[in-house]
Amino acid sequence: MARTVDSYSRTQKFLHWAIVVLIALQYLGGDFISEFEQRVRSGAVNAGDVPVLAQAHVVLGILTLVLVFWRIALILWRGKPAAPEGEDPRLKMVAHATHGFLYLLLLLVPASGMIGWFGAVSLAVDVHNLLTTLLGLLVILHIAAALFHQLVLRNNLMARNMPKPVMELLAPVFERISDIISDIRGKKT
Ligand code: HEM
């Protein structure tokens, strides 16, 4: 089990956001490599003439895998913060499971893509496409949970994982939204 520390280190925060950016780019550019694969299958282009955006998808996928390994190694070596104080045990369980599945998918998505691409295994490509959808759904759940903690539970969870200057910039916005949510909830009860 990972050691408990007060907060994520700068490197852990950097890796989290670098992986977020890489994954966003992969979703945005995923169509280029799919289109290329289809055109190769239909004989419209030569398998060796890989367009630069398809090459970028492969390179960024490998980079994502390296950063995910680095992030996991840092958790094992340095540790990570415990669940927020007073967290409902059911929420704690959901967070634990979501983080576990996120890591699993962050490993399996690039790995299946690499097996599909370098090994020309079409089953691995199908698995890769399915897992990217699952990862997308899990990321939506994860973002919703982070916002729920920040805006409804108001426990400033996002400060643990956000660079300090960004958090200082966003704090008044979060405060304002939290107040609006509190007002709405107050009116309902
Ligand atoms: C591609 C998108 C994302 C992925 C794959 C991702 C992945 C992860 C993973 C695996 C963890 C667990 C960290 C650990 O236990 O070491 C984590 C933590 C966290 N993420 Fe994300 N994340 C994404 C986007 C976001 C976004 C957009 C936000 C903010 C809105 C966010 C906020 C957080 C916070 C606050 C934590 C810390 C939770 C805690 O300390 O309990 N993440 N993220």
| CA 24 to ligand 1 center in whole angstroms | 14
* Cα atoms found within 13 Å of the Cα of residue 119, Cβ hemisphere only: 11
Residue partners of 110: CB distance under 8 A and separation at least 6: 61, 62, 64, 65, 68
Which residue is closest in CA terms to ligand 1's atom 12?
99
103 pocket-lining for ligand 1 (C-beta < 6 Å): yes
Backbone torsions φ then ψ of 3, nearest 5 degrees: -65, 150
pTM of the entire structure?
0.92
Statement: residue 41 has pLDDT above 90 = no
Atom of ligand 1 nearest to the CA of 149: 35
81 pocket-lining for ligand 1 (C-beta < 6 Å): yes
Statement: residue 113 has pLDDT above 90 = yes
Q: Band of the pLDDT at 135, cuts 50, 70, 90?
A: very high
- Tens digit of pLDDT for each residue in 52-70? 999 999 999 999 999 999 9
| CA 25 to ligand 1 center in whole angstroms | 17
